Amino acid sequence: MTQKKRPHHHGNLREALILAGLELMVEGGPDALSLRKCAARAGVSHAAPAHHFKGLSSLELAIVARGHAMFAEFMIAARGKAEDAPHAQLSAICAGYIQFSCEHSALFKFMFLPREIRPDLFDSVTWEQFTIESSASYQVLRDACLPFETGAADGLATEVMVWSLVHGYAMLFSGQSRLASHDVAIPDFAQILPMLALKAV
Amino acid sequence: MTQKKRPHHHGNLREALILAGLELMVEGGPDALSLRKCAARAGVSHAAPAHHFKGLSSLELAIVARGHAMFAEFMIAARGKAEDAPHAQLSAICAGYIQFSCEHSALFKFMFLPREIRPDLFDSVTWEQFTIESSASYQVLRDACLPFETGAADGLATEVMVWSLVHGYAMLFSGQSRLASHDVAIPDFAQILPMLALKAV
DNA sequence: GTAATAAATTTGACACTGTCAAGTCTTGTG
DNA sequence: CACAAGACTTGACAGTGTCAAATTTATTAC
């Protein structure tokens, strides 16, 4: 049976390219991601993405934005299952953070790859999506730390400490990546967080 | 004056390629690194590196190993200037960690890019250098945490906590990268570490 | 309904890159 | 000195990002 040739107008190519990129990432890691492969998977020619993205780096940032949306969902879902006490909320959100980094290991690392973040480097749609979604995901953790901040003199010390800790742990110890491999079992993050002995004020 | 054509035998090409790679990294970030550019900078043809490295990923790992050597030097130098007390030693080593991540921001991030770490993927010289240097740099921090470990039940909890914290802070807040940009000043890491209230045993 | 315009593609080309194979030059060994 | 091994060079190919021109489709105005 002859295959119906797709007409010139895709209809929702931007979204299709982002989804194709997420699939390629999951299947083969960040090195498997390319504009031409995304275009092929979306059923268009190699130059079609140029109308929607300001080059490969814009498509990558759009994928990062999508990752932040999923990331925030994980933390919010975890928070929803916890008791109202500040410690319980913070523990749950951190658990969601670590769970996402385990279950979406490649995407999580891809999200935090070093890249130049400047509005003039990306198309405006992608830039707006990225700033909204990354701020929203960070705000989940930030809100959870508020009850523990001690005052203006310390500024954001608790927030910075908690985010450093959970992010460092996610980068170094979660998922398949265990940069420091040795024979002793790595403690769960649930064992680490209480060691901070945080006090709500 | 006619330029003297380099004969076919470089003499120390492996080292020259690594140094060329470090230079390209400093000048233009990780995207500026390529086998052909390193070869050109070392004054050889594009295929010459193949005799010394099992592809681009081997050259990258050799650069990472070099980074770990420099990294360890930073922490050891910082430790050398501190008092003998466990707290002072740990604080100094963490300060060296953060200092390296600031002063060699691109290299530091490059060192911790996600990559597949399996011996069969690299030439044996590169693999050996990498395992030696990365173990050595990690061991500096590990040694500093030993006085604070509480016992077998906790395993490596303090070490994991401290490494997560300092690495997360270095990734998120040091150098030019400030992923979470907002108006309040980020506290120095020297303010964060005492919040752990670590007790030597 | 038609014409004009804009949007959304496709086609083709170029430069850069990694990798491979064959060939050539240099060094080391017997 | 001859041979073998090491260390390159040359040439080619596939994949990639990006650009420009051409083509098709959708939208808008009348």
Report yes or no on A180 lying in a domain. Answer: yes
- Mean pLDDT (whole number) for A38-49: 97
The answer to whether residue B4 scores a pLDDT higher than 50 is no
- Asked if the model's pLDDT at residue A68 lies above 90, the reply is yes
- Rounded to a whole number of angstroms, the distance from the CA of A12 to the nearest CA of chain B is 31
Say yes or no: B165 contacts chain A, CB-CB below 8 A.
yes
Residue A36 has a pLDDT of 98
Residue B148, pLDDT > 60, answer: yes
Average pLDDT on B167-178 reads 81
Residue numbers of A between 43 and 102 with CB closer than 8 Å to B: none
Tell whether A201 is covered by a domain: no
Instruction: Determine contact: A179 vs chain B, CB below 8 A.
Output: yes
pLDDT of residue A166: 96
Q: Give the residue, B166 or A8, on which the prediction is more confident.
A: B166
Q: Judge whether residue A9 has pLDDT over 50.
A: yes
Task: For residue A186, give the nearest of B156, B166, B173 by CB distance.
Answer: B156
Do A151 and A180 share a domain, yes or no? yes
Q: A47 and A61 in one domain?
A: no
Do residues A107 and A77 share a domain? yes
CB contact under 8 A, B157 and A30: no
In this predicted structure, the answer to whether residue B44 has a pLDDT above a threshold of 90 is yes
Q: Does B182 map to a domain?
A: no
Q: Is the pLDDT of residue A116 over 80?
A: yes
Confirm if A38 and A52 have CB atoms less than 8 A apart.
no
B19 and B72 housed in the same domain: no
pLDDT above 70: residue B16: yes
Residue A147 resides in a domain = yes
User: Final residue of a domain: which of A52, A68, A84?
Assistant: A52
Return the higher-pLDDT residue of A25 and B153: A25
For B192, the closest of A164, A192, A195 (CB atoms) is A164
Q: Are residues B40 and B106 in the same domain?
A: no
pLDDT, tens digit (0-9, with 9 covering 90-100), for A137-168: 999 999 999 988 876 666 688 899 999 999 99
Same domain, yes or no, for B44 and B59?
no
Do B63 and B25 share a structural domain? no
**What band does B128 get if pLDDT is binned at 50, 70 and 90?**
very high
Taking contacts as CB-CB distances below 8 angstroms, the residues of chain A near B157 are 187, 191-192, 195
A63 and A18 co-located in one domain: no
Q: What is the predicted pLDDT for the residue at B1?
A: 34
Q: Work out the average pLDDT over B4-19.
A: 85
CA B28 to CA B140: how far, in whole Å? Answer: 30
Average model confidence (pLDDT) for chain A? 89
A96 pLDDT higher than 70: yes
Q: Does B190 touch chain A (CB under 8 A)?
A: no
Residue A195 — pLDDT band, cuts 50, 70, 90? Answer: confident
Q: What is the mean pLDDT of residues B86-108?
A: 95
> Residue A10 pLDDT more than 80?
yes
Nucleotide nearest to B38 (CA to C1'): C17
The answer on A92 and A34 residing in a single domain is no
Same domain? For A98 and A181 the reply is: yes
User: How many structural domains does chain B have?
Assistant: 2
User: With bands split at pLDDT 50, 70 and 90, how would you rate the model's confidence at B47?
Assistant: very high
Average of per-residue pLDDT values in chain B: 89
Q: Select from B64, B146, B149, B164 the residue whose CB has the most chain A CBs within 10 Å, as the one to mutate to test that interface.
A: B164
pLDDT at A1 over 60: no
For residue B174, the model assigns a pLDDT of 84
Question: Is the pLDDT assigned to residue A177 strictly greater than 70?
Answer: no
Domain that holds residue B28: 11-52
Give yes or no: residues B60 and B154 share one domain. Answer: yes
Residue B21 near residue B89, CB atoms below 8 Å? no
What is the model's pLDDT at position B197?
Answer: 74
Q: What is the ipTM of this complex?
A: 0.90
pLDDT for the residue numbered B182:
52
**Residue A5 maps to a domain:** no
Average pLDDT over residues A95-114: 95
Phi–psi pair at B188, nearest 5 degrees: -65, 155
Per-residue DSSP letters for A95-106?
HHHHHHHHHTHH
Same domain, A31 and A104: no
Determine, yes or no, domain membership for B30: yes
CATH assignment of the domain containing B69? 1.10.357.10
Give residue B156's region: left, alpha or beta (phi > 0; psi -120 to 50).
alpha
User: Residue A44: which CATH number?
Assistant: 1.10.10
Residues close to nucleic acid strand C (C-beta < 7 A): A 6, 8-11, 13, 39, 44-48, 50-52; B 7-9, 33-37, 46-47, 50, 55-57
Domain assignment present for residue A188? The answer is yes
Instruction: Please indicate, yes or no, if residue A33 is contained in any of the structural domains.
Output: yes
Tell me what pLDDT residue B178 has.
53
B152 vs A128, which has greater pLDDT?
Answer: A128
Q: What is the mean pLDDT of residues A51-71?
A: 97
pLDDT at A176: 59
Q: Report the chain B residue with the minimal C-alpha distance to residue A109.
A: B114
> How many contacts, defined by CB atoms under 8 Å, are there between A and B?
109
Average pLDDT over residues B62-77: 98
